[in-house]
Every structure is written in structure tokens, then in C-alpha cells.
Amino acid sequence: MIPNASDGLVAFHPYSRPGTLQEYLPDPTRPVERWYNRPNSGNVTTAAETILNLCGDPPTAVVDPFCGAGCTAAVAREFGTPFFGIEWDPVLACVSHAKATAHRHHARLLRHTPELTSPERLLEFCTGLDLDHERPTDEMHMACLAVVVCLAGETGAPTRLQDIEADLEKRPIEPESASKGLVRCGDCTDPGTWTGIPVGMRGAVVFTSPPFYRTGLPLEVSADLRAAASLLFPRHTPQAPAPTKASYADNVIGMLRALTRHLQSGWVLMEHEPGDATPEGLQAVAERIGEETDYRAHRVLTTKTFSKAGPLSLILCGRE
């Protein structure tokens, strides 16, 4: 458990997890987690343990403003809590949505329409759907699972529909919790994107990996797959400009300022990967958080070195 905030400079502490690259990357043997097995996603066991170690009780909800392919969506699924995620890339928003909410029923539906695992046919299907992505239908859940399968096919991953179905047979979702969650496609530094996301529940924990230097490029997928995903997850504030390429500090400060209006209490844990900034830079990030947001960086936890570039850090913030 973390101590109360103390005055002065942020405290730097060692932290044991992840101690190896294996503990950092998605585990290809674990159900749901293996659906997107690429190095810009995270390890569910490590993330869940970190939340429990640093935040105490199991969270009442998991919130991830830069949710990518949804390591944290799978964490919420493990905890049986709602998941609230924001992601700029609609393809990844579909993956996060599927990880948080898909039920074995949706995999079975997809098994009966296997043609939807072709991006071209999926696009045709999505074009004909009457979608309200805030109230997802079975067709939408199924289409998001189809995106997971298409994406695996396009990126050469071994995940196939039968693997997904097997995972969901093993791990039926708690429909109650999932129905309270929500994934949105948009810019989390734009306050408008958060409107109507009921993240303000007591005991919610924000766990996020703001964009790292190596995830600056958009995910390369076929035009049909991207178009289908964009129909499933249109940008929440389409009139807002695309986020500019910002520094790590600008991203987290923009996100925290937007989040402040919606989440009244609770911990915010942010990963910081080597290459984003120097250790001195981390102190500066922590100071900027205190000066420019309603949050305060209580601690920077430095994990065991896991790459040539240096250790991964976790910045732990709370409201004043």
C-alpha cells in the first residue's frame, strides 16, 4: 500500500515488477490476453498485481485513457469490474471493446458467419449495421471479435477464431459488470471525449501507458479493416482536431486535466518507458503534474531494468 502524500519532491522507489521483459509483454499463453500479442501492449498479470500492490483493494472500475489494444480491459475482466477506455485508433478500440465485453455467445455467432473474418466482408456487414456504440448490440460485439481475428491475420499473429472461442468458453464475462463499462474512440486530452463516461465511481483506478516513442506510428492495417473499425467506433468528437504529436508530459497533463472533471478521487498509475525522457525528466514531469493539474505525483516507482534503454517507471498520482 502506498503511504500518504508527503511534501517536497516526488519520491523515487524501486519496484519489483516487471522484473523481466517477459513480465512486461503480453503472455501468449493466457486467454484473452493473447488476442493482441505485440510489444506495444502489456502483461495482464503484472498490471493486475501492480494495481493490487499499489492501490490496495481490488478496484471498483479500471479506467485507461490511452487503452490501445486493452491490456487493462483484460485486467478489468479478471477483476470482474467495469472497464472505461479511450483510444484514438478505432481498430485498437475494437480490440479493447472485445477484450472487455465479448461473451462466448458472440464467438459462437461469428463461427456461424465465418465470412466476416475477411476485412472486405466485415466492412460490408458494418456498413449495413444500425449502430449505437454506447449501447452495443450482439452484432457489434461479434463484429469487434471479427476485427480481432482480421487483425491477427494481417499482423501474422497465430490467434484464430477457435482460440478466441476457446478463451471465452473458459472465461465467461460477468455481463453485469461489462454492461456498465464503455470504450470510446477519441482524444483523451479533449474533455469532450469524456462526457457521459461514468468513471467517477469510488475506488476506480486509472492504469495507463501513455504513448511511448515507439508507438508514434499508426497501426498498419488494410483500408477495409480500418474502415470497418471506424464504423464500429466513430470518433466521439469528430469535429475536434486530431491530437498533435505531443511529448510524454504534454500527453499526461492534457489527459489529467480532462480527467479531473470526471473522476473525483482514486489513484492514477502511469507507465513511463525508457526513451520517453531521462530520469531527470521524470522529476520534471512529476513537478509539472503538480503545477498544472489537480493531481499530485506521489511516487515514481522504478522497476528492475528490462531493456538496454533503462528501466520502466510507474508514476503514481492522486488528487490533492
Considering only residues 167-186, where is the footprint of ligand SAM by CB under 6 A? none
Residue 276 within binding range of ligand SAM, rule CB under 6 A: no
Least distance to ligand SAM, CB of residue 237, Å: 11
**Binding marks (x or -) toward ligand SAM, 196..235, rule CB under 6 A?**
-------------x-xx--x--------------------
Q: Per CB under 6 A, does 66 bind ligand SAM?
A: yes
* Closest residue to bound ligand SAM by CB: 68
Q: Least distance in Å: CB of 229 to ligand SAM?
A: 12
Q: Which residue in the set 23, 33, 87, 167 belongs to the binding site for ligand SAM (CB under 6 A)? A: 87
User: Could you say whether residue 189 binds ligand SAM (CB under 6 A)?
Assistant: yes
Please identify, using beta-carbon distances, which residue of 109 and 150 lies nearer to ligand SAM: 150
Nearest distance in Å: CB 211, ligand SAM: 4
Closest approach of ligand SAM to the CB of residue 129, in Å: 24
- Residue 119: CB minimum distance to ligand SAM, A: 20
257 CB burial (10 A radius; 0-12, 13-18, 19+): middle
The nearer residue to ligand SAM, 10 or 270, going by C-beta atoms, is: 270
Contact 269, 315 (CB under 8 A): yes
Size of the site for ligand SAM (CB under 6 A): 22
Where along the sequence are the contacts to ligand SAM (CB under 6 A)? 40-42, 66-71, 86-89, 92, 187-189, 209, 211-212, 215, 243
